[in-house]
Amino acid sequence: MAKSIQALREERIDLAKNLRQHYDAYDAEDKTWDNDAQEKYDGLKNAIEKLDEQITRAQDVLDIEASQIAAVHAEAKKKGISVDEANHNRGQRNSAVKLFLLGGMSALNDEQRQIAAQAGSIFNGGIHNAMSTGTGSEGGYTTQNEFASQLVEALKTFGGMRQVSNVIRTATGSQMDWPTTDATAEEGEIVGENAAVSVGETTFGTLAHTVFKYSSKSIALPFELLQDSEIDIESHMTGLLQARLGRITNKHFTVGTGTGQPFGIIPEAATGKVGAGGQTTNVIFDDLVDLEHSVDPAYRAMGAGFMFNDLTLAELKKLKDGQSRPLWLPGIVSGEPDTILNRPYVINQDMAVMGVSAKSIAFGDFSKYVIRDVMAVQLFRMTDSKYTEKGQVGFVAFMRSGGRLIDVGGAVKVYQNAAA
């Protein structure tokens, strides 16, 4: 019998405590970190990493179930109905959406069409012809609330940027001029009795925050797949859209140039530390300390952390501090992150792998990067001759999104490998 997620977490907690105790003992007792100490550390670390993989898979299932329950309760509260009624309504809407994905509007019966017309949340804005040829009744788009919200939730775990950024949603996509100010050097004063205070104006600036229209590129599914009742077409489509939209948006939020695409956090962030000569594919302990302290303490106190590629994490796990102890430590209690240099980190595969002049590590307060989504994702179903001749149905999704580091005080800095 498979272990429950709670049993897996308790097992991980025990291993993490053992590793921490093992680690701290060499500090408290002034021992030398030798080969035996490293061997025990590696064994515990590897066991923790294997458990993490199992926990992640189990947690993904629980998260999906929890988001569905939360959506039902939110609808019940908003409409003043019972949870059972909200759950029933949600089931009807989901059925209509799945039938639409499988067979278009003609697959809906009169009752389901009435549900669509009354609810409004099934087909946001109504059904619109999405084809240049073919039967109009077979094409259109759906932005069912649950479908869109599940997709956005999935995007949060894709790539890393949405995990740590400040994500907002706006009703329109018009350009926003975001106010900025650098108050890190501002301070107050002492004044005498009945004395006037000095003028201390704060200088504000603005940064333009623009959104862009992203598409998933068209996805062609064969009739056979759509006709197979065993296939959860909604989940299948969510997975495909997540991968495509997640990859392109996370890439742009990370390394975007700002020309025809969002400003990525790495090009926008200042360099906090450059590796010494010869450090083209590595980083040393002192460099991480220097990078950390290149960020103002005011930002470091706001939960600052690291961001890097998974291959960089593999290298960082091999680094030792001044007492030859590893820098990586596991979180113990549920929700406590693993750390490098006692700082949390996030994996972002769009960060450069360490190489010549690569900006491979970022550190700071990543909430200063603002991701802006406009309304909901739109999903179009297409059955024109382009697809029909091949026995396929086409789908394409659009979303409008943008991102920018809204900061002028140096909230995020990067480590750059040596040029040679």
In-domain check, residue 73: no
In-domain check, residue 332: no
Q: Which residue has the higher pLDDT, 146 or 98?
A: 98
| Percentages (nearest 5) of helix, strand, coil residues in the chain | 45, 20, 35
Tally of structural domains, the chain:
1
CA-to-CA distance for 319 and 394, rounded, in angstroms?
49
**DSSP code, position 30:** T
Listed in order, strand segments (DSSP E) in 236-383 are 270-274, 305-308, 328-329, 339-340, 343-347, 359-364, 369-382
Q: Which of 55-59, 298-302, 366-370 is the most confident on average?
A: 366-370
Q: What is the pLDDT of residue 208?
A: 85
Q: Does the pLDDT at position 353 exceed 60?
A: yes
Q: Does the pLDDT at position 147 exceed 60?
A: no
Pick the range with the lowest mean pLDDT from 48-57, 347-356, 377-386, 405-414. 377-386
What's phi and psi for 150, nearest 5 deg? -65, -35
Query: In this predicted model, what pLDDT tens digit does every residue of 209-240 receive, in sequence order?
Result: 999 999 999 888 888 877 765 667 767 777 78
In-domain check, residue 59: no
Which tokens sit at 112?
């389901």
In-domain check, residue 251: yes
Q: Which domain holds residue 153?
A: 138-181+205-309+348-420
In-domain check, residue 67: no
In-domain check, residue 146: yes
**Listed residue (84, 107, 87) closest to 97, CA to CA:** 107
Average pLDDT, the chain: 83
Query: In this predicted model, what pLDDT tens digit does every residue of 102-141 receive, in sequence order?
Result: 776 677 777 777 665 554 433 443 333 333 333 333 344 4
Element (H, E) at 101: helix 83-103
Q: How many other β-carbons are positioned within 10 Å of the β-carbon of residue 110? A: 7
